[in-house]
Amino acid sequence: MLLGLVLVAAACGSDKGSSSDTTAGASATTAGGAETTAAAGGGTTAAGGETTAAASGGGATGQLADDSRDGQGATAFETAVNSTKDKPLKATGEPFVVAMPNLEGDAGGTFPDVREGAEAAVKLINDQLGGIGADYEKGTPGRPIQLKVCSHGLTQEAAQKCANEVVAGKPNLIQIGIDFFTPLFYPVFQGIPTLQTLPIFVADFDQPGVYSAIGGCPTAFISAAQFMAETKKFDKLAIPYANNAPGNQCWTDTQERFYQYYKDKGVWDFKGFPDEPGDPSDNAALIQNVADFLKDAKNPGIFFGVQASDCVEFLKGLKAAGVNADVVVSTACVDDTVLALPESKGMNVELQGYNVADPASLTDFAKWELDVRDKAIDAYGPKAAKSNFMNDSFSVVLWGWQIANQLIADGKDPFDTKALGDALANLGSYHVVGRPPVDCAGAPEEYQSICYRSATYLVWDGTKYTADPDLNNKYIDVTELMNTVAKSNPRKTG
Amino acid sequence: MDQIVFAVILGIGIGGLYAMLATGLVTAFKGSGVINFAHGAFAMYTVYVYDELTKSGTLVMPWVDIIPGHSPNIPVRIHLADSLGSAAATTVALLMACFLGLLAHLLVFRPLRNAPALGKVIGAVGIMLYLQAVASLNFGAEARQNPGFLPSTSGDKAFFTNFLGLGNLPHLIVWMAGCAIVMGAAVWALLTYTRFGLATRAADENEKGASLLGYSPQLLAGLNWVLSAFLAGVTGLVVIGLSSLQVDRFTLYVIPALGAALVGNLTSIPLAVVGGFLIGMFQSGMVEVADQSWWPAWLPANGMRELVPLLAIVLVLFLRGSRLPIRGSIIQRRQPLALATDHAWVGLGVGLVLVFLLSNIFTGAWEVSLTTSLVAGMIMLSSVVLVGFLGQISLAQTALAGVAAYTAIRFASNGKLGPFDLVAVDGPGWPAPIAFVFGVAAAVVVGLLVGLPALRIRGVQLAIVTIAAVGPIGNLLLQNESLYSTAAQATMPVPKPHWFGVYVSATDPQTNTTDYWHFTAFAVVVFALLGLAVVNLRRGATGRRFLAVRANERAAAAAGIDVARTKMLGFAIASALAGIGGIMQAYRLGAVQVETYSLFAGLAILAFAYLGGITSVWGAIIGGLMIGGGLVSQTIGHFSGEDFNAYLAIIGAIGLILTAILNPEGIATGTALTVKALWAKARGRAPTEVPPAPEPSEPTAAAGVSP
């Protein structure tokens, strides 16, 4: 079960998976060739404010950010970094408390990288960016962020203790790290604005007052449905999925009803194959079932969502069983062993966030801010191995910081939990460091906590990733599909 | 029909895995009389060692350094090379397997050679928990993939294309089946035609006779342990490419393998191999059968597949129980003492005061730890009655707790969606106390079914049945949507319980934190009542009958005790206790999943109950305090500033093994005996209850069969 949860986390996020965020492409750029210029002058000075003085320009020599493209606050972030690059501004005063429950210390599921990503962001904010509400024109610092991490093991008891501890600390904002007990947290966290690093459970998808800058499982699986139906145009789709609590939740909520929608439109026939994750006793027969189901298809497809534990054997076995179907996978089915298989050649891999495997697809601003992020993490000196979870956690802390700055810029108080919550709920296109912009206000009701809802698909050619030729690095925005299916086939609650 | 037949044929792969494991289990049993529940864990650790060697060239020893950087710095990771080739890694990994087998014999089973069945079961469970905990710490949680070394397990071509006109037979499946047959044949030949094999068989059939012939039964046992662990290692390495590496998965393979070994009467390797193949083929066939349109939806396919090993085990034990081999030792130690608790009211009073004080002084995390200990203690009481008093080794008590909880939730639910519920649970919306009673009744019914085989078997065989029953209880019952609504597949929200107008959930109605004092008080009262009931049970006629049955069923029957009735009564009482604990667990957590009541949760309950003292209420109290997340771990974590939870499982496993060897009475009874002895010495007279010398035991005591 625990492994199943780890796999779900992998499926919904991108720990060290396919391609994305960690390596290439994040090189610093000094070019001033900004594609846009964005608003300059006036207004506030805190990073995250609607506009900035932008006195020192972007990147090294010029302004790179464009709020209309990179989200509101992008220019402000660029300004904040550049203003403090040579003269760091250290935050002072009463801290803004961010509490973070996180799974750690239990070998069954431990994410110290998430904590360290958050700590790196806090260090950057407090030691260089001047904290919350800094005035870069005047050079006056704002308030520091105090990160209170509650690391806990993989039991309900430990999680509940942590939840109690978190609220006892009276935080101004909660950032949930990676946690498999979030449904237990939400009743306790009521009334406190909460950022979710990785939405995994259905409870994470539609929780009032909870927001995620990462698309998680809904974006991963629903974008896969749209990609397979509209781009790949499969006429028969087989979906092995994990027959455990999180697997069944994901299947019911983010997969089956979307596949059914396309089936009702006459696009395809589909069938789910519940598999005991990690238990090989049913694999051979299931593979045969998949082969039987797909045998008369003209353009068959297979999707591995929450199915990583057995996907190696599935990939190998399907070929041996004579199945020649296109394979689409979530990041849960991507690791060195999978990529080394000859059967993995040609499979499509889901990607949320920037495609750093293809630097040409990145804007100069994206390259610049990825470099800022990587250098900040390096400067912090994490003990855990770098991972995309670390990057995501870093980005989410900065997201919260930017929103708090935004409130100050709007003349409001970030210590006012209601004001902070309202600000999150009403975010339009908003900047997240190192990631494409998010949109909380436009989130469908069933997925009201999911502020990022786009993904693209890459092709693994056996040695490297390339853009899917039909998508060509274009991102699929699943908001419309979410809204449509919510009407035709709403979430089951009984 | 062709599809079903082909699915059955495809089962030869997984059947081969069970057959290989069964071969190792039979080898260990023939050599030492121990049914090694840790056999799968041996395979698991060997595979992880192999994987680490091939990837980083590092040999990871089977222990941890709890205080790294401080003396003594125990070497855990030994770097041999940047990475090792397959042959070298295989050699080193198999040497590690042999090392594990040797350690298991020398450190655990040799000292336990004269222990009763319970001690040996606990020893094996202790090794299993230890290896799992060490592997989790040393290798991490992430699933690993390793292609293994079997040739050509990948590629477009199958081993047999269009086999019998049914479909393609992949390489890996054929190789696994072949390896199982070769392994079985080789071990069978070794034990049949070599002097070592003959000596092993001699010691197996008559240890005293083998000694008189000049063979050392313990040397033979040691060699067989090494051989058995080597076979486990080979099995792990053969199947490494079958699925991802996971710590608990390999451990669980031992359950169907036990079924296969029992088909072989625990002595016949060819029959054990056949048993393994049959179970694997049935399981595989069930996947296809359950995919048929006529298959009833109320029978979850996964549960049915897990039921196959249980049915095989029960069938074999029923049909051949009286002829299953018994490995008697020359001397056999007595069962742990089950002292009557004196001055229970004093203990109760002191306990209540202490707990109420604690619940008022320590709030928040401390209160959660307190209730964790109390609820775990309640379930442990069921083990005290069943295992400690009646001598029936059950590993299914926590699963029964789950049956009670799920049933109570279903009856108390009304189909309305709560503000934080994902799925509404349909139900009549009965008052909590009535739902509570029905939940407990459901646990008793299922507990009696699980206990039925105990009418014919006991000891380690019953342990096998109950460990095999946990899977079907979880997958066939608890996750059955027809029984417990669609929430059964995910999370069951617990309706807010009110008892006679008083809210008794652990969830604070104002803050939603789970440290509400109402529940603490309720749990204290319930635990006190249950504890008193168990104390009185032990002191009364029923308890004495239980102890008589535990000591010697034939003698008990001769004394006029209805053994069957007594056993069923014990199972019913223990199931009720477990059920009450299970429902209290649900009240405490606010939402439960099937994993809340998993096999490993159950093993932890039994392990800490044994550590505390399996024969007394105080043992359940001490065990509850020591359970993960209980007051002891909270105290250590609080004052040390370190998170010791990661090491707690290892410490618990080592404590369990040491208890089985050195102090079978456990902490509670052992301490009571010591205090009594010291008190008697101080007063200058002999203690009233002193551990007697080893009792002569009937030959059926080790793996006994009921009359």
Task: In whole angstroms, give the CA distance from residue A428 to residue A442.
Answer: 7
Q: Which of B18, B134, B370, B420 to mutate to test the interface with A (most CBs of A within 10 A)?
A: B420
- Mean pLDDT, rounded, for B607-615: 90
Residues A386/A377, Cβ–Cβ less than 8 Å: yes
- Say which of B146, B153, B513 has its CB closest to residue A163: B513
Residues 6+ apart with CB under 8 A from B560: none
Residue B96 has pLDDT above 50, yes or no: yes
A383 contact B CB<8A: no
Amino acid at A28: A
- Highest mean pLDDT (candidates A218-232, B287-301, B478-492): A218-232
- Mean pLDDT, rounded, for B371-381: 95
DSSP H helices, A135-282, are 156-168, 182-189, 202-205, 216-226, 245-250, 257-264
Query: Quick one: pLDDT at residue A203?
Result: 85
Using an 8 Å CB-CB cutoff, list chain A residues near B146: 337
Amino acid at A202: V
Q: Are strands A300-304 and B167-169 parallel, antiparallel or unpaired?
A: unpaired
Task: In whole angstroms, give the CA distance from residue B618 to residue B621.
Answer: 5
What are the residues facing A456 on neighbouring strands? A351
Task: In whole angstroms, give the CA distance from residue B650 to residue A285.
Answer: 37
> Are residues A203 and B486, on separate chains, in Cβ contact within 8 Å?
no
- Mean pLDDT, rounded, for B178-189: 96
Residue B32 has pLDDT above 90, yes or no: no
Local structure of residue A183 (DSSP, 8 states): H
Query: Quick one: pLDDT at residue B628?
Result: 81
Average pLDDT, chain B: 85
- Lowest mean per-residue pLDDT among A459-468, B73-82, B390-399, B493-502: B73-82
Task: In whole angstroms, give the CA distance from residue B479 to residue A181.
Answer: 19
pLDDT of B233-242, one tens digit each? 999 998 887 7
pLDDT of B486-506, one tens digit each? 888 778 889 999 999 999 999
Q: A-contacting residues of B 595-614, CB under 8 Å?
A: 595-596, 598
Residue B77 has pLDDT above 80, yes or no: yes
DSSP H helices, B559-616, are 563-589, 599-613
Amino acid at A467: A
Task: In whole angstroms, give the CA distance from residue B57 to residue B83.
Answer: 4
Amino acid at B132: Q
Task: In whole angstroms, give the CA distance from residue A195 to residue A209.
Answer: 8
B489 contact A CB<8A: yes
B285 contact A CB<8A: yes
Using an 8 Å CB-CB cutoff, list chain B residues near A102: none
Local structure of residue B534 (DSSP, 8 states): H
pLDDT of B427-447, one tens digit each? 899 999 999 999 999 999 999
Using an 8 Å CB-CB cutoff, list chain A residues near B13: 280, 284
Tokens of residue B212, six digits: 């008189």
- Say which of B147, B280, B421 has its CB closest to residue A337: B147
Residues A335/B142, Cβ–Cβ less than 8 Å: no
Burial label, A249 (beta-carbon count in 10 A; 0-12, 13-18, 19+): buried
- Mean pLDDT, rounded, for B249-259: 85
Task: In whole angstroms, give the CA distance from residue A331 to residue A213.
Answer: 18
State the pTM of this model: 0.83
Closest-CA distance of chain B to residue A311, Å: 8
Could you tell me the pLDDT band of residue B706, with boundaries at 50, 70 and 90? Answer: very low
Query: Quick one: pLDDT at residue B321?
Result: 65
Residues B150/B177, Cβ–Cβ less than 8 Å: no
- Mean pLDDT, rounded, for B545-563: 91
Residues B207/B217, Cβ–Cβ less than 8 Å: yes
More confident residue, B647 or B377: B377
Please report, for residues B95, B187, B211, B330, the alpha-carbon distance to residue B215 in angstroms, rounded to integers and kept in the order given: 25, 20, 5, 14
Tokens of residue A18, six digits: 């396919």
Query: Quick one: pLDDT at residue A25?
Result: 31
Burial label, A237 (beta-carbon count in 10 A; 0-12, 13-18, 19+): buried
More confident residue, B339 or A168: A168
More confident residue, A77 or B425: A77
Residue B618 has pLDDT above 80, yes or no: yes
Q: Around Cβ B219, how many Cβ atoms within 10 Å? A: 12
> Are residues A317 and B283, on separate chains, in Cβ contact within 8 Å?
no
Sign of the CA dihedral B325, B327, B330, B336? negative
Residue B346 has pLDDT above 80, yes or no: no
Q: B-contacting residues of A 257-286, CB under 8 Å?
A: 274, 276, 278-286
Query: Quick one: pLDDT at residue A28?
Result: 30
A360 contact B CB<8A: no
For chain B, percent of residues with pLDDT exceeding 70: 89
Q: Which of A288, A304, A389, A493 to mutate to test the interface with B (most CBs of B within 10 A)?
A: A288
Query: Is the reported ipTM for this assembly greater than 0.95?
Result: no
Residue B703 has pLDDT above 50, yes or no: no
Task: In whole angstroms, give the CA distance from residue A174 to residue B327.
Answer: 60
Helix axes B617-626, B517-539, angle to 10 degrees: 150
Residues 6+ apart with CB under 8 A from A117: A377, A382, A389, A390, A391, A392, A393, A394, A397
Taking CB atoms within 8 Å and a gap of at least 24, the contacts of B423-430 are B423/A492, B423/A493, B423/A494, B423/B485, B423/B486, B423/B487, B423/B490, B423/B491, B423/B493, B424/A493, B424/A494, B424/B485, B424/B487, B425/B484, B425/B485, B425/B487, B425/B492, B425/B493, B425/B495, B426/A494, B426/B485, B427/B485, B429/B495
Could you tell me the pLDDT band of residue B333, with boundaries at 50, 70 and 90? Answer: low
Residues B622/B667, Cβ–Cβ less than 8 Å: yes
Sign of the CA dihedral B251, B255, B261, B266? positive
- Say which of B3, B167, B242 has its CB closest to residue A321: B167
Residues of chain A with pLDDT under 50: 1-7, 15-46, 48-62
Local structure of residue B48 (DSSP, 8 states): H
- Say which of B143, B256, B369 has its CB closest to residue A308: B143
- Mean pLDDT, rounded, for B36-48: 94
Query: Quick one: pLDDT at residue B204?
Result: 75
Task: In whole angstroms, give the CA distance from residue A184 to residue A167.
Answer: 13
Please report, for residues B2, B140, B343, B676, B689, the alpha-carbon distance to residue B681 in angstroms, rounded to integers and kept in the order given: 78, 51, 21, 8, 13
Could you tell me the pLDDT band of residue B323, with boundaries at 50, 70 and 90? Answer: low
Could you tell me the pLDDT band of residue B151, with boundaries at 50, 70 and 90? Answer: low
